[in-house]
Chain A
Amino acid sequence: MASPAKSHASSRTSRSRRRSAGAMSDISDVAPLPSTPSHHGDNDMDIGMSPGGAISELDLNSPLNYGTPSSISSLRTPRSGARGTPLHQRPDVRSDRKVRQVNLGANEGNLTPIKEQAESGGPQLVIWGTDVVVSQCKTKFCRFINQFLQSDEEDLGENMNVNEPYYLQELQQIADLEDPFLNLNCSHLKAFDADLYRQLICYPQEVIPTLDMTVNEMFFEKYPDVILPHQIQVRPFCADKTKNMRALNPEDIDQLITISGMVIRTSNIIPEMREAFFRCNVCSNTASVEVDRGRILEPTLCAMCNTGHSFSIIHNRSQFSDRQMVKLQESPDDMPAGQTPHTVFVFAHNDLVDKVQPGDRVTVTGIYRAVSLRVNPIQSNVKSVYRTHIDVVHYRKIDVHRLRNQTERGKETRFSAEREALLHELSKKPDIYERLARAIAPSIYENEDIKKGILLQLFGGTKKDFTEVGRGGFRSEINILLCGDPGTSKSQLLQYIFNLVPRSQYTSGKGSSAVGLTAYVTKDPETKQLVLQTGALVLADNGICCIDEFDKMSDATRSILHEVMEQQTLSIAKAGIICQLNARTSILAGANPIESQWNKDKTIIENIELPHTLLSRFDLIFLMLDPQDELYDKRLARHLVSLYYSVAEENETDFMELDVLRDYMAYGKEHVNPMLNDAATVRLVEAYVEMRRIGSGRGQVSAYPRQLESLIRLSEAHAKVRYSEVVEVYDVEEAYRLHREALKQSATDPMSGKIDVNILTTGLSSMARKKRGEVAAALRKMIESKGKTSSLNYQKAFNEFKAGSAVMITRDMFEDALKDLQDDGVVVVAGRSSIRICH
């Protein structure tokens, strides 16, 4: 609707107003301002670029105008009044401030207060103390919007076209959605026009309004009919000058910075007066005064009736805007050891109020400010301390959906491009798997396979979701159990993993390091030993739960683990409501043998006395035994001594730094989702068949689908380790090897010396089962030989059977056999003393 002529006219008026604004500030009284300290040198000339005194075209319709003051025109929407898009001040940028002390850098040679060169097209102004030429700035930004193409497809949102100027599409979206904010990625601007970018960073207070102005002019030219809630505001983000909170210093004052941290407190909404409305008590003449740096200058003399000090403030007709104070704390990753986290204050204005909640991790782009403490007028002493805060112009939440494991648009990885490049480069190394395995707990000697297993656990398998076909999600987490002699540094290994993985829990089946909610102290009356009985187990979703002394865990706690380890959920029944929580946690457990040492003649079940139902849920079960072999001992001894008495540098080159390791894992876990290729699938099937065949030779099944699932997970994890999107045969081979290795250690039948998965699945090796069957048969024979007798004396029968048997029969074996017979309906055991025979 707007004709070009009209728009030209309006830009002309803007020029004239600007000039007058300049003139005004020239004569405006300049008080010594501690508020915006300039650190470049002496200066006492001030100027503001924003025109303040302009009369609004928009009249106040309602005397009650809280929240969204709209009276001050600042030329940002040229034809706002006519179009119905109201103007809002931007308290974040403080563009409405009339007086601003400007720093004069040494590099500015040509300091003419206001240079106006009559160029065709528009006004050109150099803002005092800066090198910002308004008209140039506008042209440049206009060009940027018209020409900038988003090359990186990843950052591109839905419905965005790579071949069209990115920000024009954004403007289109603004028109469609009527959401008048233009988010400006500073890295785009930097790539396109480094000079404008620099100006934006150094003089945001001047440049952002200029950008606003440009965008609005362009927008209303393109979409003259659109009525927005208010004029478009540019919100720059991702300023390159990203600062660690710790690195903020006086040089950053009044510059655009981007910092990240965690929100720890948000205040209530504070109505902040933007413009005070006064009325003369004598003649009812009204006057409005803008708030300047938190102070209102009450008009002393009424212009109409010339009465002095006759004004009183009318609160209802004053203008307020929303403000919120947010406290941001340094994220734990940025903190050096032995320090407490730093905090900064962030002020959010208008629309940005209540955009973040405590606990959110955000990246804030804003202008760093320093404000002096109020001077006590009575004292002659002057405070020299400033308070600092950030006026936020843009929030960006990090990891909003961390809990849900979704990747969403524009999701920020914690890694810089260089870091990612480094990680990828690392992943290309042929020995990355071994290298990483070595980097895990270097202080623990050897046990390479265990470390490899743990490494795979840290990466985890690929997440699969079959909810749509009704199967539900498959577990991608890998569970590992370490059993072994006491004193083989299992706890150390668990502790190390606990320290390595961000979301991890360390708990102990018993003892002091349990992380229950409450506990009970009891005293054994005989030994007077104090025992701590712990409460609930705390599990972290998406983390690793390290459980030490797994065998000492109470049955109640263990039963919870059954569900957690297979279904990855946790059911809680309280007050008649059953609630299922996600607990996608990998379990790394350590268990000690019942006897003081691992008994090689017993199966794993007998050694650690854990129910086999639980054991079968572990993908890998390792034995950490003291091998007691001289060569091993020798190296172990050297390793341990060097731990205590080595020169620091020795280890540095050999091992990967901890934070690299951590990042490598985090990146891999999050970004790599390998899929099986055909060859790998075939190999997996082969491996599985092979596993089953080993058992079938003895008439037993030795592998179950659960083992196949484990194999798949392990292969996927292995592919993840090298950042590969495809699971190849090579991955399956290693997974199979590791799986076999673990099986060899844990499921070896002490009687036959062969691997027997049945130990893990039924708690009994096939040999043992066979033997038990034989005993039962012999007993049956004996009973049948008794003929017609209807009952036997228990003790007598046992003695007779023992005497008649060629092999040693224990009471347990006898009882087992009896039980079997009872199951078969041959006998009924009546109490402890007699056995009834059924005929």
Chain B
Amino acid sequence: MPSLDNWIEKPQEIIQKIYEKHSGSSPWEKEVDDYFTSRLTNTETWTSIPSLNEVLIKDLRHGQLVRFRGMFQDQLGPEMYGSGALVKNTTSGSQKNVTGKFKDELCLGLDEEVVNWNTTESRSCYYCVPIPGETPWVKQIFREKNSLSGLQPSRPVSIGKKRPLEEEDDNEMMDLGESNKRPCPLTNANPSMSVTNGNLDKILNFPLPSSESVGCIVKIYSEDEVPLNDVLEVVGVLSFNTPGVSDDEEREDFQPPSSIVPRIHCIGSQKWQHNNPYIISYSGQKWNEESAAVVELSATIRDELHGLFTEFFLGDSLAADYLLCHLMSRVYNRKDSLALGKLSLNLTNVPIDNAVLQESFPRFLFSLLERLVTKAHYLPMSLENLNTLRMIPKKDYQENRLIAGCLQLSSQTHLVLDETAMTEGQLIADGVRNVTAIGNISSWQKIEYDFNYHQVEFHTDIPVLILSERRSIVATDVNLPLRLNMSRGRPFAELIEKLETNAELLMQMRNYLTVTRLLPFKLNDAIQEAVQQDFIQSRAPGQANPMSTEDFHLLLVLSRLLALTYGKTELLDVSLWQRAKAMEAERKSRLSNSSR
């Protein structure tokens, strides 16, 4: 049996061995599959594979196994390739079968030549980018985890020359964290190509600016197609082969240089429903255990978080409740055009003082959220941004790729819109389209990508939080005027600082936010009945404030989210329902007050 290092360093050899053993006939693929699956099911070995997100490209070698966590940004269409070839050695005359699977080209000796291609198969290709909006702490922890565990086994003692590089590597790892965008080292035979920064952005095509500077093309061999914008961690064979020189000048396939966009031939993958680095499981038994541990603490953590938010909102405990519910929101089901479970929140009455922009309330709020959630993006909704930013992804037929827009986000990426940046002025056509797109996400959780000749609708799950002076121009589910007690001063920076000091609590809060929103939830029949009764009663003749259908919709969502904040997967009595009603009542009274 090959050693551990061997299958990470030289997976091709193993694949070739198995291929030859079966001389390319049917069970060979299953055996390859089994071989790697048996190793990859172990979380520890999985994490021992170096991750392309954290390890510099120049430290990785062509043909080794790597990991990459990212969002599937674009589907490049299937690729047909010769999966088996008969290769003849011209000097010895011996022939052997070579597989073309898991590689871009066959590596032949000088005296070898392909006699014949036996089989042709197709694989699907995707362009994969680092998870857009991944918050800095997530990156930091992944970096700590992956640079330690990832590099050691991949540096076998047998390759002596790699040894002295070790110290250097670690230093550079730190550098990467500091400097925002460093040009990628060119790893292979393409020295003439120098990449300027602007060009790099165009090639990488990230939906959001990111400190990372690597994307990759993932080639998947299994039949099932990966939906766009899914977040996966893939394990596969790294390939630096330069893209083929097209013999047809008319073809315009998307073939970025592999020094920036390496290819990964996928061997295994894991769909991520969250990207919290503290929680390593995503489903199954392990997930149940991990989530149960988090849920146990949920009541206390909820109080902590609620307290933190209340302090942050200068004593507005209602806003803290709504924010908590908003952070729990997730589209858990769709019925015709309705997205159930979402709760877009519009906090109004945001103070506009003369503070430096960096110190504005929305900025502070975002930097607080950024420390808690795993994916978030802050977007000042200024006229300029709306008019000039590319928000809606658009297909570029010239380049044959989907040009990303900043609304191409994976599920549960918190979008914080700062409408205080808005000024009076003209919105041009693009601006109107962008506002429409934001409105569609907020109201229906869908976005229409621009495919030039037609639009293609994609479902989203992006919680939208809008901070504005008055009711936002974008329709939201909940509109809450803040009641900030300004006499408390501006303790925002201190609060964030204080939060940072208690690492243990911070971690618990993060885990709490990740886990509770993913919990399943149901309403038992008795409560359902009670809730319905409540609705009917409120509409009985003579009642002051009859509940409208929309109120009822909102209450159903709110009560669900409220229960989740307590880590409850079921409503046991109507107390939380009543809480939700009380919250709504208070909100409505605030609304009518503020409009007066």
To the question of whether A and B form a pair in one complex, the answer is: yes
Instruction: Judge whether B360 is part of the interface by a CB distance below 8 angstroms.
Output: no
List 9 A-B pairs, Cβ < 8 Å.
A382-B108, A386-B79, A492-B337, A511-B475, A528-B469, A532-B427, A535-B432, A637-B535, A644-B556
Q: Output the least CB separation between B555 and chain A (Å).
A: 10
Instruction: Judge whether B122 is part of the interface by a CB distance below 8 angstroms.
Output: yes
- What chain A residues lie within 8 Å of B79 (beta carbons)? 385-386
* Binary contact track B229-260/A, C-beta < 8 Å → 1, others 0: 10000000000010011111011000000000
Residues of chain B in range 431-477 having any CB-CB distance to chain A below 8 Å: 431-432, 435-436, 438-440, 442-444, 449, 451-454, 456, 458-459, 468-475
* Binary contact track B70-91/A, C-beta < 8 Å → 1, others 0: 0000110111111101100000
Q: Tell whether, in the assembled complex, residue B106 and residue A382 are in contact, meaning their CB atoms are under 8 Å apart.
A: yes
- What chain A residues lie within 8 Å of B451 (beta carbons)? 329, 340-341
Q: Tell whether, in the assembled complex, residue A373 and residue B432 are in contact, meaning their CB atoms are under 8 Å apart.
A: no
Q: Tell whether, in the assembled complex, residue A250 and residue B120 are in contact, meaning their CB atoms are under 8 Å apart.
A: yes
Q: Tell whether, in the assembled complex, residue B549 and residue A262 are in contact, meaning their CB atoms are under 8 Å apart.
A: no
Instruction: Judge whether B115 is part of the interface by a CB distance below 8 angstroms.
Output: yes
Instruction: Judge whether A39 is part of the interface by a CB distance below 8 angstroms.
Output: yes
- What chain B residues lie within 8 Å of A641 (beta carbons)? 523, 528, 531-532, 556
Residue from the list A249, A384, A498, A535 in contact with B85, Cβ < 8 A: A384
Q: Output the least CB separation between A269 and chain B (Å).
A: 11
Q: Tell whether, in the assembled complex, residue B536 and residue A250 are in contact, meaning their CB atoms are under 8 Å apart.
A: no
Q: Tell whether, in the assembled complex, residue A530 and residue B473 are in contact, meaning their CB atoms are under 8 Å apart.
A: yes
Given contacts A339-B228, A496-B336, contact A383 B427 (CB under 8 A): no
Q: Output the least CB separation between A226 and chain B (Å).
A: 38
- Choose among B397, B422, B432, B548 the residue with the greatest number of A CB atoms under 10 Å from its CB: B432
Instruction: Judge whether B113 is part of the interface by a CB distance below 8 angstroms.
Output: yes
Residues of chain B in range 87-118 having any CB-CB distance to chain A below 8 Å: 100, 103-110, 112-118
By DSSP majority rule, is chain A's interface helix, strand, loop, or mixed? loop
Instruction: Judge whether B552 is part of the interface by a CB distance below 8 angstroms.
Output: yes
Q: Tell whether, in the assembled complex, residue B532 and residue A511 are in contact, meaning their CB atoms are under 8 Å apart.
A: no
Q: Output the least CB separation between B279 and chain A (Å).
A: 25
- What chain B residues lie within 8 Å of A267 (beta carbons)? 250
Q: A341 CA to B72 CA in the complex, in Å? A: 15
Residues of chain B in range 399-453 having any CB-CB distance to chain A below 8 Å: 400, 402, 419, 422-429, 431-432, 435-436, 438-440, 442-444, 449, 451-453
Q: Tell whether, in the assembled complex, residue A39 and residue B118 are in contact, meaning their CB atoms are under 8 Å apart.
A: yes
Q: Output the least CB separation between B336 and chain A (Å).
A: 5
Closest chain A residue to B425 by CB distance? A521
Q: A656 CA to B523 CA in the complex, in Å? A: 27
Query: Interface size for chain A: under 10, 10 to 19, 20 to 34, or 35 or more residues?
Result: 35 or more
Q: Tell whether, in the assembled complex, residue B550 and residue A487 are in contact, meaning their CB atoms are under 8 Å apart.
A: yes
- What chain A residues lie within 8 Å of B523 (beta carbons)? 641, 644-645
Q: Pick the 3 closest A-B CB pairs, nearest first.
A: A512-B439, A338-B227, A487-B548
Closest chain B residue to A251 by CB distance? B120
Closest chain A residue to B109 by CB distance? A380
Given contacts A332-B456, A485-B548, contact A441 B336 (CB under 8 A): yes
Q: A766 CA to B224 CA in the complex, in Å? A: 68
Q: Output the least CB separation between B353 and chain A (Å).
A: 14
- What chain B residues lie within 8 Å of A32 (beta carbons)? 113-117
Q: Tell whether, in the assembled complex, residue B397 and residue A44 are in contact, meaning their CB atoms are under 8 Å apart.
A: no
Instruction: Judge whether A517 is part of the interface by a CB distance below 8 angstroms.
Output: yes
Closest chain A residue to B548 by CB distance? A487
Q: Tell whether, in the assembled complex, residue B470 and residue A528 are in contact, meaning their CB atoms are under 8 Å apart.
A: yes
Instruction: Judge whether A514 is part of the interface by a CB distance below 8 angstroms.
Output: yes
Q: Output the least CB separation between B6 and chain A (Å).
A: 23
Q: Tell whether, in the assembled complex, residue B337 and residue A340 are in contact, meaning their CB atoms are under 8 Å apart.
A: no
Q: Which A residues form the contact surface with B (CB < 8 A)?
A: 32, 34, 37-39, 41-44, 248-250, 253, 262, 264-265, 267, 270, 294, 325, 327, 329, 332, 335-343, 345, 358-359, 370, 372-374, 376, 380-388, 441-443, 445, 485-489, 492, 495-496, 498-499, 511-523, 527-532, 534-535, 626, 628, 630, 633-634, 636-638, 640-641, 643-645, 658
- What chain A residues lie within 8 Å of B471 (beta carbons)? 529
Q: Tell whether, in the assembled complex, residue A638 and residue B532 are in contact, meaning their CB atoms are under 8 Å apart.
A: yes
- What chain A residues lie within 8 Å of B83 (beta carbons)? 384
- What chain B residues lie within 8 Å of A341 (beta carbons)? 451, 456
- What chain B residues lie within 8 Å of A658 (beta carbons)? 336
Known: A32-B116, A374-B247, A495-B444. 17 other contacts (CB 8 A): A32-B115, A37-B119, A264-B453, A343-B77, A376-B245, A380-B107, A385-B105, A487-B548, A489-B549, A489-B550, A496-B337, A513-B475, A518-B428, A520-B426, A529-B470, A530-B473, A644-B557
Q: Tell whether, in the assembled complex, residue B74 and residue A340 are in contact, meaning their CB atoms are under 8 Å apart.
A: yes
Q: Tell whether, in the assembled complex, residue B548 and residue A42 are in contact, meaning their CB atoms are under 8 Å apart.
A: no
Q: Output the least CB separation between A374 and chain B (Å).
A: 4
Q: Which of B46-54, B539-547, B581-589 contacts A (4 or more CB under 8 A)?
A: B539-547
Q: Output the least CB separation between B448 and chain A (Å).
A: 11
Given contacts A332-B456, A489-B550, A634-B536, contact A42 B116 (CB under 8 A): yes
Instruction: Judge whether B568 is part of the interface by a CB distance below 8 angstroms.
Output: no
Q: Tell whether, in the assembled complex, residue B426 and residue A518 are in contact, meaning their CB atoms are under 8 Å apart.
A: yes
Q: Tell whether, in the assembled complex, residue A628 and residue B473 are in contact, meaning their CB atoms are under 8 Å apart.
A: no
Q: Tell whether, in the assembled complex, residue B432 and residue A517 are in contact, meaning their CB atoms are under 8 Å apart.
A: yes
Residue from the list A338, A442, A522, A628 in contact with B228, Cβ < 8 A: A338
Residue from the list A250, A342, A343, A532 in contact with B121, Cβ < 8 A: A250
Q: A498 CA to B83 CA in the complex, in Å? A: 46
Given contacts A339-B228, A384-B105, contact A634 B426 (CB under 8 A): no
Instruction: Judge whether B338 is part of the interface by a CB distance below 8 angstroms.
Output: yes
- What chain A residues lie within 8 Å of B528 (beta carbons)? 641, 645
Q: Tell whether, in the assembled complex, residue B77 and residue A342 are in contact, meaning their CB atoms are under 8 Å apart.
A: yes
Closest chain B residue to A267 by CB distance? B250
Q: Tell whether, in the assembled complex, residue A340 and residue B118 are in contact, meaning their CB atoms are under 8 Å apart.
A: no
Residues of chain B in range 2-28 having any CB-CB distance to chain A below 8 Å: none
Q: Output the least CB separation between A661 and chain B (Å).
A: 11
Instruction: Judge whether B162 is part of the interface by a CB distance below 8 angstroms.
Output: no
Q: Output the least CB separation between B363 and chain A (Å).
A: 20
Q: A178 CA to B115 CA in the complex, in Å? A: 48
Residue from the list B104, B336, B432, B442 in contact with A534, Cβ < 8 A: B432
Given contacts A262-B453, A518-B432, A534-B432, contact A34 B117 (CB under 8 A): yes
Instruction: Judge whether B553 is part of the interface by a CB distance below 8 angstroms.
Output: yes
Given contacts A374-B247, A637-B535, contact A339 B75 (CB under 8 A): yes
Closest chain A residue to B103 by CB distance? A384
Q: Output the least CB separation between A399 and chain B (Å).
A: 14
Instruction: Judge whether B383 is part of the interface by a CB distance below 8 angstroms.
Output: yes
Q: Tell whether, in the assembled complex, residue A499 and residue B74 are in contact, meaning their CB atoms are under 8 Å apart.
A: no
Instruction: Judge whether B379 is part of the interface by a CB distance below 8 angstroms.
Output: no
Q: A335 CA to B228 CA in the complex, in Å? A: 13
- Choose among B82, B83, B531, B556 the residue with the greatest number of A CB atoms under 10 Å from its CB: B82
Q: Tell whether, in the assembled complex, residue B337 and residue A628 are in contact, meaning their CB atoms are under 8 Å apart.
A: no
Instruction: Judge whether B144 is part of the interface by a CB distance below 8 angstroms.
Output: no
* Binary contact track B353-366/A, C-beta < 8 Å → 1, others 0: 00000000000000
- What chain A residues lie within 8 Å of B251 (beta carbons)? 325, 345, 387
- What chain A residues lie within 8 Å of B108 (beta carbons)? 380-382
- What chain B residues lie within 8 Å of A528 (beta carbons)? 469-470
Residue from the list A39, A485, A521, A626 in contact with B119, Cβ < 8 A: A39
Given contacts A340-B74, A381-B241, A512-B475, contact A373 B118 (CB under 8 A): no
Q: Output the least CB separation between B102 and chain A (Å).
A: 11
Q: A530 CA to B82 CA in the complex, in Å? A: 60
Q: Output the least CB separation between B199 and chain A (Å).
A: 24
Q: Tell whether, in the assembled complex, residue B552 and residue A359 are in contact, meaning their CB atoms are under 8 Å apart.
A: no
Q: Tell whether, in the assembled complex, residue B552 and residue A640 are in contact, meaning their CB atoms are under 8 Å apart.
A: yes
Q: Output the least CB separation between B85 and chain A (Å).
A: 7
Q: Tell whether, in the assembled complex, residue B340 and residue A644 are in contact, meaning their CB atoms are under 8 Å apart.
A: yes
Q: Tell whether, in the assembled complex, residue B432 and residue A530 are in contact, meaning their CB atoms are under 8 Å apart.
A: no
- What chain A residues lie within 8 Å of B289 (beta carbons)? none
- What chain B residues lie within 8 Å of A534 (beta carbons)? 432
Residue from the list B109, B119, B429, B549 in contact with A488, Cβ < 8 A: B549
Given contacts A532-B435, A645-B522, contact A486 B548 (CB under 8 A): yes
Q: Tell whether, in the assembled complex, residue A41 and residue B118 are in contact, meaning their CB atoms are under 8 Å apart.
A: yes
Q: Tell whether, in the assembled complex, residue B425 and residue A636 are in contact, meaning their CB atoms are under 8 Å apart.
A: no
Q: Output the least CB separation between A321 and chain B (Å).
A: 16
Q: A41 CA to B468 CA in the complex, in Å? A: 68
